[in-house]
Chains A and B, each alone.
Chain A
Amino acid sequence: MKLFQPSGIWRFRKEVSLPRLAVAAVLVCLSAEGVCRLAPHLVGDNVHQPLHAVTLPCHEACDQQRQDLRWRTNAHGARGELYHGEKTRIAVFGTSTSVDVSLDQPKAWSEVLVRQFPAGSVHVENFARDGASNNEMEILLRHMAELGRHYDVAILMDHWRRAPEPPSRKNTFHYSAQWYADSGLLHAPELIYERLNDQYLREPRLVAIKTALSGLWRNSTAQAAPVPVHPFALDTKNRILRNNGTVKLVDVPVEMSPNRKSFITERVSTLVGLAKRIATRVLVMSQPVAYDPHEVPGVGRRWFSLYPVSDNPPTYKSDKSVAEAIRQTNAVALPAARKAGADTLDLDALIRPYLRQRDDLFIDKWHFAPAGSRLAATFIARHLKGGPGA
């Protein structure tokens, strides 16, 4: 019996016309290139989210008994109620801490903030997104400026990190989130056609198909990468590993490079400048972090982040080192913001002393629990009103 018996498909080598195949290949590439270049201009934006409740699966250990979150998103795509003519309008920009990713609508600090003022006098729209980068903040602010949006206060709070390339897509809710403001749509910038558009505007000689294919290759090789030695950094199950001593945490020296300092300074300056185009007052806040050397034990027990230091044996950065890095960022960002003409609020410094008495302010290293959200809103409101602690 023959081991191999080639089928008729191999006759294509004799039957196909090579010149025709070559021309067809060129046509395929040209049409692919055309689609890659035209796609950002042809495809529409995602639809706005009318005022409706969204139920999301609870992630990162929500500090409540239900396993789902209930948010209300207004017609502008922001978390919050629709504007009803309130005297003071506040817009919030940032990341998961700003959006209070693990809390129901009424418990988020931007909602609590509204209740710190007389009823009907303040409106807060929260454009922050879990996993967002300062690139997204920039695009939002630029679009808002183009559309002539105006607020009384714009609050910015960010981690000031370089955005990864290509953008992450870990949360499809934000994928379809859209911000609609008066006469036009604001783009959700992490969508792939935004990235394509951005790249081609900056580097018009790029071959679109090459970029798309290399992005595809990058994504697929990232997925095929060997399973790392370390657990995923943001897996909530790490809490158990940390608290039962399975993983070893070590202090590491934390020193900010000059490159990082200048990156933060430049980004803060740019974003404050943009925010000033859409708001009378710009408030830049420091990122709170749940660490103090004299904190009560329950604070550290909620952390689950694991940042590897070495593979063998597996060791990870201590809470102290992680907090130090975040506070170094804050220490660069706030002065840069003041230099750019923004108001600043060191929210981290205000909340930190409370960690010595309470362990119910945070659900992990930097996301608020309901009590922390209330405390933050109190400080922010006090600052906006110009009172003590401002």
Chain B
Amino acid sequence: MLFNSIEFWLFFIPVFLGTHLLPHRGQNLILLVASYVFYGAWDWRFLSLIFASTLVDYWAARFAAPSNSQAVRKAAVAVSICVNLGILGVFKYYDFFISSFIDLFGITPDPSSHLLLNVILPVGISFYTFQTLSYTLDVHAGKMPPTRSFLDVALFVAFFPQLVAGPIERGAHFMPQITQPRKFDTSQIEPALYLIVWGLFKKVVIADTVAHPVNLIYASGDPTGPEVYVATALFAVQIYCDFSGYSDIARGVAKLLGFELMLNFNLPYFAKNPSDFWRRWHISLSSWLRDYLYISLGGNKNGTVQTYRNLLLTMTLGGLWHGARANFVLWGVYHGLILCLHRAMFRNRERTDAPDGALVGAAKILGMFQLTLVGWLLFRVETMDQLMRLLRALAFSWSSWQGAWEILDYALPYVLPLILMQAWQYWRGRTEIVITAAWPLRAVFTGCCASAVIVLNQSGGIPFIYFQF
């Protein structure tokens, strides 16, 4: 069930009603059943994986609690990590590593037909695996006690608004909202509504529409440099609107059910440097990697070389998290490199420099956006041949701008509302900005977004990009 489908909203109505008519335990039960129905609608066979993950981490967290011995706690965490990452590894990375190994060593005859599993990637596995791990790790770190109710843990793992594409919630932040009775008041309705309509607008109207020229240019055998540049910029718009649109809808739906999910995107294209970008883009993943991987590796505590190593390793694994393809690893390495470079060049200066003026700030934002575009080029390609073709076009093929202007002419009416909204959010310093406007404007905003989603839905239900991770 996609958020931009009628089926989802028909499914949501009884869940919503049940949540607001039942007592706390009843709410959790109906939400858990709904979550399993939601996930089962994708592929019921993979419900067993979620259940297995839940079972393992329920018990692992019980044994990882500070009240147990150190050896038991370590063993519990090790089991949780091994099982969760093992499942992820088998379903997501096994075939990639086997194929890469065979290619690297040129093994003949090719044994891949005997060795590859060719399994379907379960939707959302990367997300709920990390979320489940965070529960056990937070208990181990003493940030929260283990939850006695298996039902609550199951709901924590499977909560449907954020199950398939995040935000990746932390145990310490999200579990208390499950275990304790939730207070809901009417002031949460409007912000939720605006999150949902704006999220749908971003996904259905902007992302799915600009996807067409992006797909055309990236599939083209002979694009021009301007076309590649414009298509990559539009891909930046597409992936942001697709992913943040999903996150907004997830947060809005969760709000209507009485939950507060974490902010996942904070105007990432207004970042002024690589560090700033990763404090704004996919915040739930970047903070997860920082807290559970980068810091565990030593963070910046063990000297410059170790810091750079930890940064590179964390970002490389972050790239690999996105998918079992070489370009994702390359993307991760690229971001690791620019983070290291930024740290090496500017870290001390940023602590002592005065705040930027308007022009300098704008230049930094524009510069960082160009660096981000390079990353998105690496992220979007599917093969190294395609990457080389596009890089050659960028390097040598700038004689004709006609195609690029046409793409811009096509995309501008769709991108303009996004630019205006982002500028408003940046100017006011908050992302949930619609609620601050006068109520007639809020009504007009809702009507425009909702109707645009209906009449400009030319996607035929294109899935969200991050569903493939």
- Kindly state whether residue B173 has any CB partner on chain A within 8 Å: no
Given known A-B contacts A27-B440, A50-B220, A44 and B23 have beta carbons under 8 A apart: no
Given that A32-B450, A47-B406, A47-B407 are contacting pairs, would A7 and B213 also be in contact in the complex, using a CB cutoff of 8 Å? Answer: no
Question: 3 tightest A-B contacts by CB?
Answer: A31-B447, A32-B451, A28-B447
Which residues in window 18-61 of A have CB below 8 A to B?
A: 20, 23-25, 27-36, 39, 42-55
Q: How far is the CA of A4 from the CA of B17 in the complex (A)?
A: 11
Contact of A31 among B21, B443, B458 (CB under 8 A): B443
A213 within 8 A of B: yes
Max chain B CB contacts within 10 Å: which of A32, A33, A208? Answer: A32
Q: Which residues of A contact B388 (CB under 8 A)?
A: none
Q: List residues of chain A with CB within 8 A of the CB of B414.
A: 43
B20 touches A44 (CB 8 A): no
In the complex the two chains form, is A43's CB within 8 Å of B456's CB? yes
Interface flags, A193-218, vs B, CB<8A=1, else 0: 10010000000000011001100100
Docked CA distance A62–B42 (Å): 30
Q: With a CB–CB cut-off of 8 A, which chain B residues contact A27?
A: 440, 443-444, 447
Query: Can you offer 16 A-B residue contacts whose CB atoms are under 8 A?
Result: A6-B20, A7-B19, A7-B184, A9-B20, A11-B185, A24-B442, A27-B443, A27-B444, A36-B451, A39-B456, A43-B413, A50-B223, A50-B403, A53-B221, A169-B458, A192-B455
Contact B212 A6 (CB under 8 A): no
Cα A208 to Cα B24 in complex, Å, equals 43
CB distance from A368 to the nearest CB of B (A): 26
Complex Cα gap A53–B216 (Å) = 10
Interface residue from B19, B184, B222 paired with A50 (Cβ < 8 Å)? B222
Q: Chain B residues with Cβ under 8 A from A49's Cβ?
A: 216
- With A7-B19, A9-B20, A212-B454 known as contacts, the answer to whether A42 contacts B216 (CB < 8 A) is no
Residue pair B410, A47 in contact (C-beta under 8 Å): yes
B411 at the interface (CB under 8 A from A): yes
- Inter-chain contact A35/B451, CB cutoff 8 Å: yes
Given contacts A7-B20, A50-B227, 13 further A-B contacts (CB under 8 A): A2-B23, A3-B26, A8-B185, A8-B186, A9-B20, A9-B189, A11-B186, A35-B447, A36-B451, A44-B413, A47-B212, A48-B406, A54-B219
B353 within 8 A of A: no
Cross-chain contact B456 with A28 (CB below 8 angstroms):
no
Q: Does A119 interact with chain B (Cβ within 8 Å)?
A: no
Interface centre among A23, A42, A44 (most CB of B within 10 A): A44
Query: Residues on A close to B: CB < 8 A?
Result: 1-12, 15-16, 20, 23-25, 27-36, 39, 42-55, 169, 172, 175-176, 180, 191-193, 196, 208-209, 212-213, 216, 220, 223
**Contact A23-B440, Cβ < 8 Å, known A32-B448, A35-B451, A49-B216:** yes
- Bound Cα distance from A169 to B186, whole angstroms: 40
Q: List B contacts of A192 (CB < 8 A).
A: 455-458
CA A218 – CA B453 in complex, angstroms?
Answer: 16
Bound: A213/B213 CA distance, A: 28
Chain A nearest CB: distance from B253 CB in Å?
14
Most buried by A among B212, B216, B411, B452: B216
Measured CA separation A10–B21 after assembly (Å) = 9
- Cα-based distance from A36 to B452 in the complex (angstroms): 7
User: Total A-B pairs in contact (CB under 8 Å)?
Assistant: 146
Tell me the complex Cα distance, A42–B411, Å.
11
Cross-chain contact B448 with A5 (CB below 8 angstroms): no
Chain B stretch 400-416: residues in CB contact (< 8 A) with chain A: 403, 406-407, 409-414
In the complex, which residues of chain B have a beta carbon less than 8 angstroms from the beta carbon of A209?
Answer: 451
User: Could you tell me if B212 and A24 are in contact, using CB atoms closer than 8 angstroms?
Assistant: no
Compute how far the CA of A52 lies from the CA of B406 in the bound complex, rounded to whole angstroms.
16
Residues of A within 8 Å of B183, CB to CB, are: 8
Contact B413 A193 (CB under 8 A): no
Pair B407/A16 contact, Cβ less than 8 Å: no
**CB closest chain-A residue, reference B456:** A39
Given A35-B452, A47-B410, A176-B212, are A52 and B458 also a contact pair (CB < 8 Å)? no
Encoded as 1 (CB less than 8 Å from any A CB) or 0, chain B from 183 to 216 comes to: 1111011000000000000000000000011011
Cβ of A212 and Cβ of B455 under 8 Å apart?
A: yes
A39, B456: Cα distance in complex, Å: 8
Instruction: With A44-B412, A176-B216 as known contacts, state yes or no: A10 contacts B20, CB within 8 Å.
Output: yes
Give B410 Cβ to nearest chain A Cβ, in Å. Answer: 4
Q: Is B179 located at the chain interface by the 8 A CB criterion?
A: no
Contacts of B346 in A (CB 8 A): none
In the complex, which of the residues B19, B26, B227, B410 has the most CB atoms of chain A within 10 Å of its own CB atom? B410
- Of the candidates B403, B411, B455, which one forms a contact with A196 in the assembled complex, judged by CB atoms under 8 Å apart? B455
Q: Which residue of chain B lies nearest to A45 when distances are taken between CB atoms in the complex?
A: B410
- Write out the residue numbers on chain A whose beta carbons fall within 8 Å of the beta carbon of B227: 50
* Residues in chain A near residue B412, CB distance under 8 A: 44
CB pair A12 B186 closer than 8 Å: yes
CA distance A176 to B212 in the complex (A): 6
- Please tell me if the beta carbons of B413 and A36 are within 8 angstroms of each other in the complex: no
Is the beta-carbon distance between A1 and B458 smaller than 8 angstroms? no
CB distance B410 to A193 under 8 Å? Answer: no
B419-469 with Cβ < 8 A to chain A: 439-440, 442-448, 450-452, 454-458, 460
Q: Which residue of A lies closest to B258 (CB)?
A: A7
Q: Considering the chains assembled together, what is the distance between the CA atoms of A146 and B177 in angstroms?
A: 63
Q: Per a CB cutoff under 8 Å, which of B212, B221, B446, B452 touches A46?
A: B212
User: Which chain A residues border B406 with CB–CB below 8 Å?
Assistant: 47-48, 180
CB distance from B386 to the nearest CB of A (A): 12
Verify if B6 is at the interface (C-beta below 8 Å from A). Answer: yes
Report yes or no: B455 in contact with A47, Cβ–Cβ below 8 A: no
**Nearest chain A CB to B462 CB, angstrom units:** 8
- Considering the chains assembled together, what is the distance between the CA atoms of A20 and B185 in angstroms? 19
A51 vs B409: C-alpha distance when bound (angstroms): 19
- A52 near B444: Cβ-Cβ < 8 Å: no
> Which chain A residues lie closer than 8 Å to B41 at the CB level?
none
Give the distance to chain B from A217, nearest Cβ to Cβ, in Å: 9
Contact of A44 among B220, B258, B409, B460 (CB under 8 A): B409
Asked if B454 contacts A5 (CB within 8 A), the reply is: no
What residues of A have a CB within 8 angstroms of the CB of B75 in the complex? none
Docked pose: A51 CA to B406 CA in angstroms: 15
How many whole Å from B178's CB to the nearest CB in chain A? Answer: 15
Please, which residues of chain A bring their CB within 8 A of the CB of B221?
52-53
**Nearest CB of B to A214, in Å:** 11
A220 touches B6 (CB 8 A): yes
> Assuming A5-B21, A11-B185, is B222 touching A51 (CB within 8 A)?
yes
Q: What is the CA–CA distance of A2 and B439 in the complex, to the nearest angstrom?
A: 38
**Interface code B19-45, partner A: CB below 8 Å = 1, 0 otherwise?**
111111010000000000000000000
Contact B455 A35 (CB under 8 A): yes
- The answer to whether A6 and B21 have CB atoms under 8 Å apart is yes
Does A35 contact B448, Cβ atoms closer than 8 Å?
yes
Separation in Å of the B382 CB from the closest CB of chain A? 12
Whether A39 lies near B452 (C-beta < 8 A) is: yes
Please report the C-alpha to C-alpha distance between residue A20 and residue B445 in the assembled complex, in whole angstroms.
16
Name which of B26, B442, B447 has the most chain A CB atoms within 10 A of its CB: B447
Partner of A16, one of B184, B186, B446: B186
CB distance from B22 to the nearest CB of A (A): 6
A4 pairs with B21, CB closer than 8 A: yes
- Given A43-B414, A45-B410, A47-B407; A20-B447 close (CB under 8 Å): no
